[in-house]
Structure 1
Amino acid sequence: MIAAKGYAAPKAKVPLEPFKFERREVGPHDVQIEIQYCGVCHSDIHQVRDEWGGSIFPMVPGHEIVGKITKVGDHVTKFKVGETAGIGCFVDSCRHCPSCLAGLEQYCDVGMIGTYNSLDKGGSPTYGGYSNQIIVDENYTLHISDKLPLAGVAPLLCAGITTYSPIMEWKMGKGHKVGVVGLGGLGHMAVKLAASKGAEVTVLSTSPSKKADAEKLGAHHFLVTKDAEQMKATAGTLDFIINTISAQHEYNDYLPLLKLDGTMVLVGVPPEAPQVAAFNLIMKRRRIAGSLIGGIKETQEMLDYCAEHGITSDVEVINIDYINEAYERMIKGDVRYRFVIDMASL
């Protein structure tokens, strides 16, 4: 076993603290990565506080990981020592179900194995990127371009692919009007990516103060959702809405903004099941859909696309010992737009 160190939640609803643990030895198909940066996702908070249930403690969070490969297994063919690599939200899957065979490992019929807060095929807990190193099968490892600043690339492994995947699945682009609900870690990436594809983007926010930022990110319009006149004027005009909000909110406020056959795609997960008025769907044949992350192939495609187009997340780099304060600020929406841990601070 390989000695490792990081920060962990010892149990639910207590601060994260330094933690020593062991990683498996590098197997024939594994790569070992010295972690340089790890993004901080809102789902980290949900899971360390056991808000979704089933959390495994002690828990080392983190699934937006970039770093340098320090060792490769004897049978590794896709990576070399010294290359920059990334790890996203999962590190394995069953590999033989229809979803896995289609390159949609995130929808594995058996269940993907999460980068943290999951059990590997041997029954041991997985530990994430708030740590100095990680060992992962090369088939679940991603190539990272050195063209872009690594701190800004790290959140692409979750926030980037979570918004890129529905944009590609629904072919959002030129000729489409796309609304983005919420301008946080996910929302700011949805704006950048949808705009880069040629869509006309409208940010829907309760905070008028975010208008300038929305425009800098590439939004063409900004709608204050508390303004009834603005909402009325926009009714029936949007082809798609990407809903990134994970706090409790009212879906019925947004559905009337969609055109005939318009679709609202959910990528945020509110804590309680929302109510939906059937007439908001029936009267314009509207749809509510959901999207998770992306498979390995699509995530690599997204990373290559962002490298080609110079797209990264807007980040605030922090030291690891600031993580508990960062969580509190995230809950208040006080970050623009993603915290990223400099793992050299460990």
Structure 2
Amino acid sequence: MKKTILYLGNKLASKGFTPTGIDTLGPQLESLGFAVFYASSKRSKPVRLLDMIWLIFRYREQADYVLIDTYSTQNFWFAYVAARICKRFRLNYIPILHGGNLPQRLKGSQKASYFLFKNACQLVAPSAYLANHFKNAGYSNVEIIANALELNSYPFKFREELQPKLLWVRSFAAIYNPMLALEVLERLLDEYPNAQLCMVGPDKDGSLEACKMYALSKHLPVVFTGKLEKSEWLNLAADYDIFINTTHIDNTPVSVLEAMALGLPIVSTAVGGVPYILKNEETGLLVVDEDCDGFVKAIGRLLTDKSFVQNITQNAQDHIKQYDWNAVKKQWSNILS
């Protein structure tokens, strides 16, 4: 008999936002035969929370499990409220740990964190980064299940000769530090006048307009595409040679995994869970947060060391195989069966 899942998260891809766990994992679970109900696609945060509460009540007799996408910022409290209601109705709930700043949340909201995570039947972390933090904090019921990709949808391209054509893919938000990408381009142009940058993603907090104003004032060769469908940006990626990830805070960024699958050499800040998926000098290059000089130096190395690029992109292709849905789905089946 198939299990019924209630999945709580920010299902806002249809509203122009970047797809999140609920947008990808939900359909994957449906493909395994689970009946999945979702909350919520409401744009307003208060209305979205109310919708989640209503769906928990509505499916309290049907749901075998409640999956809760759990973040470290304001949406942490959505998960906490949901957990309270699940506990009231004796529902099995599973927080899926997404927030790169959750280790700080464990310290800053100790009572709420204890209730949310101790009463869960299982915790799921996408990498050892959060799993280790939670285990060290006394939460032993953590299983690592990677963010899954359908790897056959990602055409790997070996780049014979790199050009200074940079690609950045993320929501425009202060925590992802998009302005640094423009500063890197500005510095790179001093040595590589043909350098260019493409930035893909929707605005989240006004950062997109600030970036556009900066690029205009500095006459930088940058393209802002806004939000693209996955198939669109995957096709676009074939025209670029280096992927940069400038974030201040992160857990397991899917865009970095996708860049690895596409054969793009990667330069990223060494923050949060990034070093757990991107090994410096092995599958990419890591630099200190906010280090513009470090980014420029790393990009210069990629542009001048062909054999190094070949090694790290091949290593990345081998590493990414463990994130394929065919490798991950057995873990979800075991937890939810």
TM-score, normalised on structure 1? 0.27
Name which structure has the greater RCO, CA cutoff 8 Å, separation 6+. 1
Answer 1 or 2: which has greater helix percent: 2
TM-score, normalised on structure 2? 0.28
